[in-house]
Structure 1
Amino acid sequence: MRRFTQGFYGYAFAMLVCLAAVGLFLLVTPQSRTEHIPRIDYSMDVANLRRTAPYEVWAPSQVPAGWIPTSSRAAQEKDTTTWRLGFATARRSHAMLAQSNGKPAADFASRMANTTEVTGNVQIGGATWEQRFRKDKNQRSLVRLLPDATVVVTGTAQWDELTTLAASLKQQPKPTP
């Protein structure tokens, strides 16, 4: 028995016991092989923004199929209200809706798109959106400059997914007092 407690044999025996314990633990521990992306409910942010934002808020009328809302952040500083709503798309890319009444509007659009360069225009739901693309970040953006706010749909998602998000946006009217 002494040879299993000293020297190389003792070390090998201890390693074998440890590996057996780890193997047994992995065997009996339930493991999930499915992807888990945390889902949030952004309806309270929309309700609060409808009441407090100095502009009519734009929100998806219906989240596109297979998309998961992952983050929502509303911020108010002085006279500026900003809202960011993030999604994991059906293809597991990132898409974000960002809107603000910050001035100048072009600065907010450029900050969200990470570029000032407009690469084209596209019609979505009867409205004209600027297209912007930043190749080194693989970031595509759709920008709409409105009289009272700027709306940006951006992310690593492909153009068709960003277009789907932009097309789903509806103005949320202010609640009646």
Structure 2
Amino acid sequence: MQRFTQGFYGYAVALFVCLAGVGLFLLVTPQSREQHIPRLDYSITVANFGHAVPYGVWAPQRDPAGWVPNSNRIAKGENGAQVLYLGFATAKQQHAMFAQSNEQPAAEFANRMANTDKAVGTQQVGGVTWEQRYREDKNQRSLVRVLPDVTLVITGTADWPELAELAGTLRQRPQG
């Protein structure tokens, strides 16, 4: 019996027993191969933003199918203006963010959110024209809509149809 507890042979047997135990543990432990993206409800953030700004807030009426809202926040923009950010993982596992603010000048806010001031075209979404912007080095596409009281920007690595899908869900809520 002493032979199994001493020397190299004993070390090898102990190592084998430990590895067999770890292998058995990994075999019986359930493992998920799916990526889990935490879902964060943004309704309270949107409501709080609506109480802090002097205009009707824009927000998705519903989340696009297969999209997961995964971030939301209110921040101070330039000149003290409030900015609402809503982040999403899209159905194609890309990123999209919706931002809005009454920051002035509106063009500077749009340029900062899109990371470019160069328009590459326009896109019609639900009868409304959005300006398309693209920054190639970041693979970032943006849809920009400047309204009299607020600027809306949808941006991210999502493709144009996905960005348009989010734009199509936006509705303005009553002020207050």
Same fold, judged at TM 0.5 (above): yes
1:14 Cα shift?
2.2
User: Within the alignment, does 1:128 sit opposite 2:133 as a pair?
Assistant: no
| Aligned match of 1:68 | 68
CA contact (8 A) 1:97 1:153 kept: yes
Inter-partner Cα distance in structure 1 for 2:76 and 2:113: 17
1:88 Cα shift?
0.9
Inter-partner Cα distance in structure 2 for 1:149 and 1:167: 17
1:166 Cα shift?
0.7
| Aligned match of 1:82 | 83
| Aligned match of 1:5 | 5
| Aligned match of 1:137 | 138
User: Within the alignment, does 1:48 sit opposite 2:30 as a pair?
Assistant: no
1:74 Cα shift?
1.1
1:32 Cα shift?
2.3
Inter-partner Cα distance in structure 2 for 1:3 and 1:112: 71
1:66 Cα shift?
0.9
Residues 19-168 of structure 1 correspond to what in structure 2 (within 5 A)?
19-76=19-76, 79-168=80-169
Aligned-pair Cα RMSD in Å: 1.7
Count of matched residue pairs: 175
1:7 Cα shift?
3.3
Q: Deviations over 1:109-136 (max 9, x none)?
A: 1111111211111222222211011111
Amino acid at match of 1:103: Q
Unmatched segments (≥5 aa) in structure 1: none
- Normalising by structure 1, report the TM-score: 0.90
Residues 166-177 of structure 1 correspond to what in structure 2 (within 5 A)?
166-175=167-176
- Normalising by structure 2, report the TM-score: 0.91
Secondary structure (helix, strand or coil) at the match of 1:119 reads: strand
- Percent identity between matched residues is 63
CA contact (8 A) 1:122 1:129 kept: yes
Inter-partner Cα distance in structure 2 for 1:19 and 1:105: 62
CA contact (8 A) 2:145 2:152 kept: yes
